[in-house]
Chains A and B, each alone.
Chain A
Amino acid sequence: MTGSALSGIMPHLPALQVVVPLLSAPICFLLRRGLVSWAFATVISWAAFATALLLLQAVLTDGTIRYEIGGWAAPWGIEYVIDATNAIVLVIVAGIGAVVMPYARRSVAAEVPANQHSLYYTAYLLCLAGLLGVSITGDAFNVFVFLEITSLSSYILISAGAGMDRRALTAAYNYLVLGTVGATFFVIGVGLLYMVTGTLNIIDLSARVPALQDNRTIHVAFAFIVVGMGLKLALFPLHTWLPNAYTYAPSTSTAFLAATATKVSVYVLMRFLFVVFAPTYGFMALTLNYVLLPLALIAMVAATIAAIYQYNLKRLLAFSSVAQLGYMVLGIAYGSVQGLTATLLHLFNHALMKGALFLAVGCIMLRVGDVTMLGVRGLGRQMPWTMAAFVVGGLSLIGVPLTVGFISKWYLVTAALSDGRWPIAAVILASSLLAVIYVWKVVEAAYFKEPPAGRVVREAPLSMLVPTWILVLANVGFGINAEFTVDVAQTAAMGLLGIVP
Chain B
Amino acid sequence: MLELFLAKYNYWIVILLMMIGLYVVVARGNLVKKIIGLNVFQTSVFVMYISLGKVAGGTAPVLTGKNELFSNPLPHVLILTAIVVGVATTALGLAIVVRVREAYGTIEDDEIEEIERQDMAGDLEGRRR
Contact = CB atoms under 8 A, between A and B. Distances in A.
Contact of B82 (A155, A187, A311): A187
A372 B96 contact: no
A148 B96 CA distance: 17
Contact of A152 (B41, B81, B88): B88
B19 interface: no
B71 interface: no
B126 A374 contact: yes
Contacts of A188: 45, 48
A458 interface: no
B92 A311 contact: no
A156 B88 CA distance: 12
Nearest to B107: A173
Nearest to A151: B89
A374 B126 CA distance: 7
Interface stretch (A107-115, A175-183, A382-390, A423-431): A175-183
A254 interface: no
Contacts of B35: 177
Q: Which of B34, B93, B119 has the most CB of A within 10 A?
A: B93
Interface in B7-61: 22, 25, 31, 34-35, 38, 41-42, 45, 48-49, 52
B89 A148 contact: yes
B88 A166 contact: no
A152 B92 contact: yes
Main secondary structure of the interface of B (DSSP, over half): helix
Nearest to A175: B96
A152 B88 CA distance: 8
A187 B112 CA distance: 31
Interface residues of B, number: 34
Contacts of B22: 181
B104 A166 contact: yes
Interface string A25-52: 0000000000000000000000000000
A195 B11 CA distance: 13
A167 B31 contact: no
Contacts, number: 81
B58 to A, nearest CB: 15
B69 interface: no
A176 B92 contact: yes
A191 interface: yes
A188 B19 CA distance: 14
B96 A173 contact: yes
A162 B103 contact: yes
A369 interface: yes
B106 to A, nearest CB: 11
A485 B47 CA distance: 45
B116 interface: yes
Nearest to A156: B92
Contact of A173 (B41, B100, B119): B100
A187 B45 contact: yes
Given A152-B88, A155-B92, A176-B92, A162 B116 contact: no
A172 B96 contact: yes
A180 B99 CA distance: 19
Contacts of A372: 123, 126
A312 B38 CA distance: 32
Contacts of A194: 52, 75
A495 B41 CA distance: 36
Contact of A145 (B48, B81, B103, B126): B81
B38 to A, nearest CB: 6
Going nearest first, the 9 A-B pairs with the smallest beta carbon separation are A166-B103, A148-B85, A169-B100, A374-B126, A173-B96, A195-B52, A169-B99, A191-B49, A176-B93
10 contacts: A141-B81, A152-B85, A155-B96, A165-B119, A167-B119, A170-B100, A176-B96, A180-B89, A191-B75, A194-B52
